[in-house]
Chains A and B, each alone.
Chain A
């Protein structure tokens, strides 16, 4: 089988969705670690220095652009598969099993993914666009001079309760997407073994599904509360 044929099969496409999905999982860990510096009330020194470093380091810029392409590849192939899957059942059942044979979030990957996609677009236009192409205030901290004050932009945005609600909603979608997604990607790669299944489930549900989205969601909520 040629590569072109391989990646056109259902399993080949699933592999691409799984591989890009796991790459995104590794990204969210790094992203969250950096974001916690937003909670420091140091006038933004830690966060802005970090953001400036991320924005100017060549390798990180390369990865950051790659990341956006990876999200697109992930979403496009996943939606392509979803369309094929819908077409595989042209006449629907009159009575459905509900949650008796599968969990509801495992059936809603495309819906949660789409909510995430909308969230990511809003999120990028709000902060990433402002940082790179917008007209934001500049600050200096000792050796670090004239860096964009993204810290202020973020704190300002999270004064608004509906923006905070939007971020929490985005993270609820991330949570359900990853509770199923991490485990599912492992199964797609053939990683299913009685000695490791417990660990895979644990990491998928508790680490990626609950801890990470909760960590992200806490930040806007805390910033909001501090400003009322």
Chain B
């Protein structure tokens, strides 16, 4: 396949940035989207040009690093798929593909397609943990947990912090991410004692980072590579409302 790539190039956070076009030929349908960038970067390096900066690590859909906004879609067109798991068979010969970084005030561009997602780390640092030592693993079933709740907590814990929810949301809202991080603890007995303080602190941090608010359009859920559901956002709202009305 022969493809035209229009890639966002930006030297640093101060630079205004611009699109640059690249023709890539001999693209195999078996390549992953990141491998396409590897091939292009190798060529740019050989030509003595600056390679395109992009984040990646595991390349198997579990680390959440590979942020790319591809033809208007976070991580490209495939459902529940990260960029590293997107393969070139999703495209046809002659296609033009526009690749942009995540766009959010809270995720400043570091270079080209790489953005700074440390705002997510600070939301977790604000309360996404249990502050006492929970000790060694206890006997199975020593603490009874409803299977339904255990499964929901596990599903929420599947969030890889990739930021696609923020990238896909028209308000750059981090509600889906924050709700997943709150739900994985709120649903389990170990997370209950601190649930009010956690909800208040994490929401306050989320706002402070400059993410927008949720207008319930559902774009986050549609683009999340881990299938995190917006039922978690409803849970976050319940947690925050109960905290707001009853915390001392």
Q: Interface size on A (CB < 8 Å)?
A: 43
Q: Is A192 an interface residue (CB 8 A)?
A: yes
Q: Would you give the 0/1 interface string for B142-182, flagging 1 where the beta carbon is closer than 8 Å to chain A?
A: 00000000000000000000000000101111000000000
Is B217 within 8 A of A91, CB to CB?
Answer: no
Q: How far is the CB of A17 from chain B (nearest CB, A)?
A: 9
Classify the secondary structure of B's interface with A: mixed
Is B171 within 8 A of A103, CB to CB?
Answer: no
CB interface residues, B 199-248, toward A, < 8 Å? 200, 203-204, 206-207, 210-219, 222-223, 230-231, 233-238, 240-241, 243-244, 247
Of A32-40, A94-102, A114-122, the one with at least 4 CB within 8 A of chain B = A94-102
A3 to B207, CA, bound (A): 16
Is A93 within 8 A of B212, CB to CB?
Answer: no
Residue from the set B206, B217, B247 with the largest chain A CB neighbour count within 10 Å: B217
Is B216 within 8 A of A11, CB to CB?
Answer: no
**Cβ contacts under 8 Å, A161 to chain B:** none
Choice from A90, A106, A190, A192 contacting B215 with Cβ under 8 Å: A106
Residue of B nearest to A190 (CB): B238
**Cβ contacts under 8 Å, B90 to chain A:** none
Is B212 within 8 A of A192, CB to CB?
Answer: no
Is B104 within 8 A of A89, CB to CB?
Answer: yes
Is A106 within 8 A of B216, CB to CB?
Answer: yes
Q: Is B106 an interface residue (CB 8 A)?
A: yes
Is A13 within 8 A of B72, CB to CB?
Answer: no
Is A88 within 8 A of B212, CB to CB?
Answer: yes
**Cβ contacts under 8 Å, A88 to chain B:** 104-106, 171-173, 210-212
**Cβ contacts under 8 Å, B100 to chain A:** 93-95
**Cβ contacts under 8 Å, A89 to chain B:** 103-105, 170-172, 212
Is A98 within 8 A of B72, CB to CB?
Answer: yes
Residue of B nearest to A5 (CB): B204
Q: How far is the CB of A96 from chain B (nearest CB, A)?
A: 5
A169 to B122, CA, bound (A): 46
Is A101 within 8 A of B219, CB to CB?
Answer: yes
**Cβ contacts under 8 Å, A190 to chain B:** 234-235, 237-238, 241
Residue of A nearest to B16 (CB): A91
Known contacts A14-B213, A88-B171, A101-B73; is-contact A94 B98 (Cβ 8 Å): yes
A86 to B215, CA, bound (A): 12
Q: Is A226 an interface residue (CB 8 A)?
A: no
CB interface residues, A 45-99, toward B, < 8 Å? 81, 84-98
Q: How far is the CB of A191 from chain B (nearest CB, A)?
A: 7
**Cβ contacts under 8 Å, B98 to chain A:** 94-95
Is B217 within 8 A of A9, CB to CB?
Answer: no
Q: How far is the CB of A163 from chain B (nearest CB, A)?
A: 32
**Cβ contacts under 8 Å, A101 to chain B:** 73, 168, 218-219, 222-223
A6 to B235, CA, bound (A): 17
Is A81 within 8 A of B234, CB to CB?
Answer: no
Known contacts A10-B207, A89-B105, A189-B241; is-contact A107 B170 (Cβ 8 Å): yes
Q: Is A201 an interface residue (CB 8 A)?
A: no
Is B230 within 8 A of A192, CB to CB?
Answer: yes
Is A85 within 8 A of B173, CB to CB?
Answer: yes
**Cβ contacts under 8 Å, B129 to chain A:** none
Is B247 within 8 A of A102, CB to CB?
Answer: no
**Cβ contacts under 8 Å, B247 to chain A:** 1
Is B234 within 8 A of A187, CB to CB?
Answer: yes
Known contacts A88-B210, A89-B104; is-contact A1 B223 (Cβ 8 Å): no
Which residues in B have some Cβ–Cβ distance to A below 8 Å? 17, 19, 69, 71-73, 98, 100, 103-106, 168, 170-173, 200, 203-204, 206-207, 210-219, 222-223, 230-231, 233-238, 240-241, 243-244, 247
Q: Report the 10 A-B pairs with minimum CB-CB distance, sorted nearest first.
A: A192-B234, A190-B238, A88-B212, A10-B213, A85-B171, A85-B212, A95-B72, A102-B217, A88-B172, A101-B222
Other than the given A88-B172, A97-B73, A106-B217, 13 more pairs (CB < 8 A) read A1-B247, A10-B203, A10-B207, A11-B240, A12-B244, A85-B170, A85-B215, A88-B105, A90-B105, A93-B69, A100-B73, A189-B237, A190-B238
